[in-house]
Every structure is written in C-alpha cells, then in structure tokens.
Structure 1
Amino acid sequence: MAAAPGPAAAGSAPIAATPGRLRPLPLLAALALMLGLGIAPNLFATADGRADHLAALALCWAMSAGFVAGVGFRPQALAWRLLFSPAAVALGLALGLGRLLMVGG
C-alpha cells in the first residue's frame, strides 16, 4: 500500500504555493496606460508638444506594476514586491500625471 503524501519538509515549500488573485483595478489601469501610451502618446506630452521623460518613466512604471499586480503575481523579494504592488500603480500614476499637469500648466 502506498503511503499518503505528507507535508512538505521544512525549507522545501514551493515558490508559488497558492495562486495569486486577479486584481481588476491595477489591471485596468495597466491596460488603459498601455492603450493610451500606444495609441495616443501625444496625450502624455507637455503643453508645447515635447515628451516629458520623467512623466513617461513614472507612467511606464505604473503600467508595469499594474500588469504584475493585476494578474496576481507576487514577487518573493520585498523590494520587487514594493515596486510592483497596487500602491506602486497609484504612486506611478500620481507622479506621472502630476508631473504632466505641473510642466504642462
């Protein structure tokens, strides 16, 4: 008779023991940024039509964090978990859009 599988040995737990849950708000923000930056990049330019690279950096960070957090992936390392969290999406959006409003106005 085969033995029933027992608990995993200490220290040998799988990396992704439980699947992450889908987070619709960061995922929708990432999709909106992807479409906006791809279809109409001039929406993210300054009032005089120049590209604002700091705003683009913040918005691309928000988009990346939105995709990572939105599909439910949770990095193991604390630094990566903070950089790609739902709070990072909000911070990237606030920094990027705030910069565009400051420079553009």
Structure 2
Amino acid sequence: MTTRSAPRDTALFWPALLVGLALMIGLTADPRLLTDAGGHADHLAATLAGWAMAAGIVRGVGFVPQHRVPRWLLSGWACALAGALTVLRLAIIGA
C-alpha cells in the first residue's frame, strides 16, 4: 500500500488566472498582436504567448501537477517568464 502526501494548495491563484484569461481574450479578439511589422505571423511569440496563457489558466484555477517538470512548466513563475519573453520578442521584432 502506498501513501500519498497531502494535496497541495488548490485555491484559485488570481494573478496567473487573470493573465491567462487576458491573453486568451486579447489574442482571440486581435491576433495581429503577434505579427511582425510586415504583418507576418511571429511563431515564436505565438508559442510563448500560448505557454503563458496555458500556464496562467492551469495554475490560476488551482491545478498543480504532481510531476516536477509539468509542475514548473505550468506554474505562475512560468506564466510570468513566458509573458516577459513574449513582450521581449515583440519588442525586438517591432524595432
């Protein structure tokens, strides 16, 4: 018989949830936010924004994966990192 540790805190994490929802609504309403100056899709920026959105929503609703790698990839810190990298990428291609 195996014993499991007590579940982690599964309360809503509002900062991450709000970022995830804002990205979901904003990018659905205006996908041109992830294009370069020539109007071409920036796939790296879209990937980073998708990661930030997924991490924000997953962590925001209170789900915390058991395994270490998904737990980090879907954490609030990962949401912040991916969001910052998205903004940096868009600032670089917009220059």
Say if 1:61 and 1:89, in contact at 8 Å, map to a contact too.
Answer: yes
SS at structure 1 position matched to 2:4: coil
| Structure 1 residue 54 corresponds to structure 2 residue 44 | yes
Corresponding residue number in structure 1 for 2:65: 75
Greater fraction helix? 2
| Structure 1 residue 65 corresponds to structure 2 residue 30 | no
Corresponding residue number in structure 2 for 1:44: 34
SS at structure 1 position matched to 2:64: coil
CA distance in 1, matches of 2:49, 2:4: 36
Q: Which runs of 5+ in 2 are unaligned?
A: none
| Structure 1 residue 13 corresponds to structure 2 residue 13 | no
Say if 1:46 and 1:104, in contact at 8 Å, map to a contact too.
Answer: yes
Identity over aligned pairs, percent: 45
Corresponding residue number in structure 1 for 2:25: 35
Corresponding residue number in structure 2 for 1:4: none
Number of equivalent positions:
95
Deviates more, 1:74-83 or 1:43-52: 43-52
Runs of 4+ that moved beyond 6 A: none
Task: Return the index of the structure with the highest Cα Rg.
Answer: 1
TM-score, normalised relative to structure 2: 0.91
TM-score, normalised relative to structure 1: 0.83
